[in-house]
Amino acid sequence: MSNSSMQKLDNVLERVCYVLLIISGVVILLMGLAVTFGVVMRYAFHAPEPYTYELSAMFLLLCGLFAFAGVEKLDRNVRNDLISSRYPPRVKVIILNVTFLLMALIFVAVLAWKSLGNASYALQIGQISASPWAVPLAPIKFMIPAAYFLLCLVLIVKIIQGFALLKGRKNQEELA
């Protein structure tokens, strides 16, 4: 993959992840509004609202899904540098920018594969939610592997950048 196409892919991923982070924030706001509505209906009007719980659960799922790739792309994830800080810079790059990302990629790829099977099964049987609302679950379940595949793509790009950092002449002085 050429450097310019890699840069274009990285820019597209960054924009997509940024938009998904914004959507995640909006979903958090909607979840708060839905919960507030449910609480007001239950305690102020003594009329429990049956859809609020399910809507909040869906919003919570979507919030997390939309944020996964963006958080990883922006390097805002939790990382324990206790072990890697004890190594020389070159080994540190190998550990943080290649090894850990490869392990994460394998883990997320398995999650994507298994969740795709689950979503396909939900579509095949026409699975609906157990609430009175009876929402079809397949579209929501397909968002899970889509988010994981996006995260896999982000991880692959970061791994390639990690290898490029190791091979780049410009950065050899920094890593030595």
Q: Which residues contact 10 (CB under 8 A, 6 or more apart)?
A: 157, 161
Extract long-range pairs of 113-117: CB within 8 Å, 24+ residues apart: 113/145, 115/141, 115/144, 115/145, 115/148, 116/142, 116/145
Q: What is the pLDDT of residues 2-45, one digit of tens each?
A: 788 889 999 999 999 999 999 999 999 999 999 999 999 999 99
User: How large is the average pLDDT for residues 36-61?
Assistant: 90
76 near 44, Cβ under 8 Å? no
* Domain ranges within the chain, ordered by starting residue: 3-175
Look up the pTM and report it: 0.87
SS3 128: strand
pLDDT tens track for 71-125: 999 887 777 677 777 888 888 889 889 999 999 999 999 999 999 999 999 999 9
- What's residue 168's pLDDT? 79
Q: What is the pLDDT of residues 130-171, one digit of tens each?
A: 888 888 999 999 999 999 999 999 999 999 999 999 887 545
Mean pLDDT of the 49-71 span = 90
What 3-state DSSP class applies to 43? Answer: helix
Contacts with 54 (C-beta within 8 Å, 6 or more apart), sequence order: 129, 131, 133, 135
Q: Count of CB atoms within 10 A of residue 119's CB?
A: 21
Residue 27's H or E segment, with its range, is helix 3-43
Query: Quick one: pLDDT at residue 41?
Result: 93
Neighbours of 89 (CB within 10 A): 11
* pLDDT over threshold 70, residue 174: no
